Amino acid sequence: TNTIIEPFRIRSVEAIRFTTMDERKELLAEAGYNPFLLKAKDVLIDLLTDSGTGAMSSGQWAGIISSDESYAGSSSFYRLENAVQEITAFKHVIPTHQGRAAENILFTTIAGKGDVVPSNTHFDTTRAHVEHSGAEARDLVIEEGKQPRNTHPFKGNMDLAKLEQTIEEVGTDRIPVIMITVTNNSGGGQPVSMENIRAVSEIAKKHDIPFFIDACRFAENAWFIKTREDGYEDKEPIEIAREMFSYADGCTMSAKKDGMSNIGGFLAMNSDELAEKCRNLEILTEGFPTYGGMAGYDMEAVAIGLFEALNEDYLRYRIRSIAYLGDKLSRAGVPIVKPTGGHAVYLDAKEILSHVPPLEYPAWSFNNALYRLGGVRGVEIGSVMFGKQPGGSEKPASMELVRLAFPRRVYTQSHVDYLAEVIINAYEQREQLGGYKIASGPDVLRHFSARMLPL
Ligand code: F0G
């Protein structure tokens, strides 16, 4: 058969609440036209993020019941450490309560004023932590990665020539680490090829610069390598993941994504010296190094979840369900980032709302239309998220996207059919949609709390 079904059955359900369009108009206005400020109970299909929103398995719940809540030396920590080492082979595993805590520890420890941290594309929290340390976050994704309709199979790849140029220009002393984000969340959830990871690693080694992977969606990236890169079709996702990590000196991880858990993360690395510094900071900010901000039961859930994320039936279904929505939208003429990525469909709002200038935030506008019309919540990845410059000025982001990120193992195919209907409906009404302005909000990570006004 051709139908790829959900590779699980459901034995615990959670009701979702229907609202009317009039209610949603009012709720959106009360939330300052910022979907982050809506109450989740007022959202029908919540695609704000795939982070921490997934359904855990019966296996994970079983692990949770048998956790060890000891402060120091908990067995649950050792199970987590073993799981991470089995997949990454990194010597040191430093647990954190989520991904950004790992970023905070890493960048506070190694980066500072005058430094530059290159990446394919830094995620917003990564960028914020790099900048918080005083360093500059530089995005060096290949040009194809910025062209929504370009169907390059690995649009998350680092531009190697630009990386070499950056090293030349900045000097190795001022580059404390080279990062690569797999998959490239801010650039459409696009994968990075093994060839590119290997090449970045060689450049880093040649210049004696540490190379770290932002590994949030490592399993999804492994699946793309398996299905798109020559020589990997017969390899298991775990073998591919191991090879990816073998080229790096360490990683940051949010277990809220491919850790299949509602909370958790870690920082892992080979260097003894760096690990010691990081652990010292961890005690200050996260907790003792055998729990680091997680309960024992969280560590159990992550230890089990990391392997579930690498299951082939799961990955085939996961990536296919995203492509299924992408195909439906493409057939209806809705411009999306192609090919569809791992965890989300990204709508190209610059194209959909070509009459709304970037600094009137077209992606914000289209996302709000989806909520108004169908109770669907996505997230803007555009000039509200990335437009504010460290100096205070505004600059349009390279793309204006609405990201519809899928919680893992939560929604079924009929939810996706409904979604497609809502999006196509909004697309048909696009000419009536106008821009927004920011009424108030902070300078850093302003998208989380800004209050907006329709123009
Ligand atoms: N790196 C990437 C690539 C991410 O996507 C995220 C989180 C983080 C780091 C930070 O991890 O949330 O556990 O602190 N992304 C979520 C998202 C929030 O919606 O894409 P965290």
* ipTM of the complex, rounded to two decimals: 0.99
119 Cα distance to chain centroid: 14
Residue 54, CB half-sphere, CA atoms under 13 Å: how many?
A: 28
Longest dimension (CA), the chain: 61
pTM of the model: 0.95
Who contacts 34 (Cβ-Cβ below 8 Å, separation ≥6)?
447, 449, 450, 451, 452
**How many angstroms does the Cα of residue 168 sit away from the middle of ligand 1?**
30
Q: Whose CA is nearest to atom 11 of ligand 1?
A: 99
3-state secondary structure of 137: strand
Are 188 and 349 spatial neighbours (Cβ–Cβ below 8 Å)? no
Which mutation among 46, 49, 51, 402 tests ligand 1's pocket best, with the greatest number of atoms within 8 A of CB? Answer: 51
**How many angstroms does the Cα of residue 47 sit away from the middle of ligand 1?**
14
**How many angstroms does the Cα of residue 182 sit away from the middle of ligand 1?**
11
Q: Whose CA is nearest to atom 16 of ligand 1?
A: 51
Q: Is 49 in the pocket of ligand 1 (CB under 6 A)?
A: yes
Q: What would the mean pLDDT of 229-249 be, rounded to a whole number?
A: 98
**How many angstroms does the Cα of residue 162 sit away from the middle of ligand 1?**
25
Are 201 and 194 spatial neighbours (Cβ–Cβ below 8 Å)? no
Q: Is 99 in the pocket of ligand 1 (CB under 6 A)?
A: yes
Q: Whose CA is nearest to atom 21 of ligand 1?
A: 99
Quote the pLDDT of residue 392.
82
Q: Is 51 in the pocket of ligand 1 (CB under 6 A)?
A: yes
Rounded distance between C-alpha atoms, residue 345 and residue 403, angstroms: 6
**How many angstroms does the Cα of residue 30 sit away from the middle of ligand 1?**
27
When pLDDT is cut at 50, 70 and 90, the band that residue 187 belongs to is confident
**Whole-angstrom distance between the N-terminal and C-terminal Cα of the chain?**
50
When pLDDT is cut at 50, 70 and 90, the band that residue 390 belongs to is confident
Please count the residues of the chain. 455
Q: Which residue(s) pair with 214 in the sheet?
A: 181, 252
The one-letter amino acid code at 338 reads K
Residue 374, CB half-sphere, CA atoms under 13 Å: how many?
A: 22
Quick: pLDDT tens for 91-149: 999 999 999 999 999 999 999 999 999 999 999 899 999 999 999 999 999 999 999 89
Sorted by where each starts, the structural domains of the chain and their CATH numbers stand as 21-50+312-454 (3.90.1150.10), 58-308 (3.40.640.10)
**How many angstroms does the Cα of residue 436 sit away from the middle of ligand 1?**
26
